């Protein structure tokens, strides 16, 4: 366990990193938007777009700067900065992030083919894997800790990265939607990793906490510029970037936490899988915390394949499109998805809390948030809110 005094020091350092990332992203986005307009780098409105006013993309440029600023600041902290010497995960993240960011910038300017983008995502994931960022083991309840071979480890890690990238990119169709969902997920992941680090004394969770804190800051800094009506879009340069970064903390946990430490606390490997469930949740966290976009992405692939369309070609059949077609405005659509995402995150964080009282409090909060999201999404509720007043109907008839 970590001394209480050290906990306070660590939390202050993480908060500083979050604020630095947020400040750099926020302060650069405004000038970036003005420069894009001055240079005429504003894409035309496409048929599947939901906005009606030409809006610049490439907000990912400011987000990448915020990410780098946060990680650079971490190197100046004695305690948090130790992760750079203890593991290569952060260096691997920077390599993959740089590649995926360049890919996104090129796509924002020249509209790359979907298969070419997928190949670039796999390349960025492979670069991180070859630098040591891998899922090394899978704890299975009732069986125990199963070590993965080099091939299985590589394939599973690449799959998790690419899946998370595309899940985030799928919902980047309404102002503030993808950025806000990742903000909620990364904040929940930070609390989860911080709990493992200071609740269970697992030092291997430190890189995950660092990366999640910086990602939270990046998304928080960009969100004011991106809320409906958005003044600038993150584009693929931002969506692909934050999707990749979001996948890294979970993989880092599955590569840094020693399963033998878990097994040492109980009588057998099989019991370890049941006793410390939060340790095998990292493999499921990206799916659970961004469960709404993951479901939307999977449903979109099945829908397109069933109708004979390219499974990775964008269309207007996503969840946010369907909500808008039912009469929901952008703000209402974003609120619904935020609430549902927050509900899922509350449930995940609750699993890492040892106190039964606090755990049930988080679960209850998650249920309430989910209920609120479903009520907001109900067509009848929207119809009631949007119904024309009788006085207006009478005046119109006259």
Task: For residue 139, give the DSSP letter.
Answer: E
Q: 89-110 and 114-130 helices cross at what angle (nearest 10)?
A: 170
Is 179 marked as binding a ligand?
A: no
Interatomic CA distance for residues 86 and 15, integer angstroms: 21
Q: Quick one: 230 exposed, middle or buried, by C-beta within 10 A (0-12, 13-18, 19+)?
A: buried
Q: Known binder of ligand: residue 236? A: yes
Q: 3-state DSSP helix/strand/coil percent for the chain, to nearest 5?
A: 75, 0, 25
- List, as own/partner pairs, every contact residues 34-37 make where C-beta atoms lie below 8 angstroms and the sequence separation is at least 24, other chains included: 36/232
Element (H, E) at 167: helix 150-170
DSSP assignment of 170-181: HTTTSTTHHHHH
Residue 315 phi/psi, 5-degree rounding, is -145, -170
Annotated binding site for Mg(2+): 169, 236
Which residues are part of a known binding site?
169, 236
């Amino acid at each position: 366990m970590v001394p209480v005094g050290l906990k306070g020091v660590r939390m202050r350092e993480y908060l500083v990193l979050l604020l630095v990332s947020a400040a750099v992203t926020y302060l650069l986005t405004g000038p970036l938007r003005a420069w894009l307009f001055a240079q005429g780098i504003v894409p035309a409105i496409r048929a599947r777009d939901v906005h009606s006013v030409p809006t610049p993309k490439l907000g990912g440029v400011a987000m990448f700067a915020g990410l780098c600023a946060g990680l650079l600041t971490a190197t100046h902290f004695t305690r948090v900065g130790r992760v750079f010497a203890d593991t290569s995960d952060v260096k691997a993240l920077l390599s993959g992030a740089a590649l995926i960011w360049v890919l996104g910038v090129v796509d924002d300017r020249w509209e790359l083919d979907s298969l070419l983008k997928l190949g670039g995502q796999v390349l960025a994931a492979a670069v991180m894997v070859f630098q040591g960022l891998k899922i090394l083991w899978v704890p299975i309840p009732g069986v125990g800790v199963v070590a993965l071979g080099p091939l299985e480890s590589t394939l599973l890690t690449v799959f998790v990265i690419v899946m998370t990238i595309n899940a985030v990119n799928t919902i980047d169709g309404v102002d503030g939607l993808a950025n806000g969902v990742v903000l909620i997920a990364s904040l929940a992941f930070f609390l989860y990793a911080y709990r493992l680090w200071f609740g269970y004394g697992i030092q291997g969770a430190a890189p995950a906490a660092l990366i999640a804190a910086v990602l939270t800051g990046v998304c928080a800094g960009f969100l004011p510029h991106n809320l409906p009506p958005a003044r600038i879009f993150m584009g693929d340069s931002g969506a692909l970037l934050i999707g990749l970064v979001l996948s890294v903390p979970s993989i880092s946990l599955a590569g840094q936490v020693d399963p033998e430490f878990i097994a040492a606390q109980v009588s057998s490997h099989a019991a370890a899988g049941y006793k410390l469930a939060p340790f095998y949740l990292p493999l499921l966290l990206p799916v659970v915390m961004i469960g709404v976009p993951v479901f939307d992405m999977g449903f979109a692939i099945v829908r397109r394949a069933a109708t004979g369309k390219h499974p990775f070609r964008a269309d207007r059949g996503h969840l946010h499109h369907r909500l808008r077609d039912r009469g929901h405005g952008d703000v209402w659509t974003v609120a619904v998805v935020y609430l549902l995402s927050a509900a899922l995150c509350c449930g995940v964080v609750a699993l890492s809390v040892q106190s039964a009282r606090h755990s049930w409090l988080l679960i209850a909060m998650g249920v309430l948030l989910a209920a609120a999201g479903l009520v907001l999404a109900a067509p009848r509720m929207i119809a009631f809110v949007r119904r024309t007043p009788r006085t207006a109907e009478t005046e119109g008839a006259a």
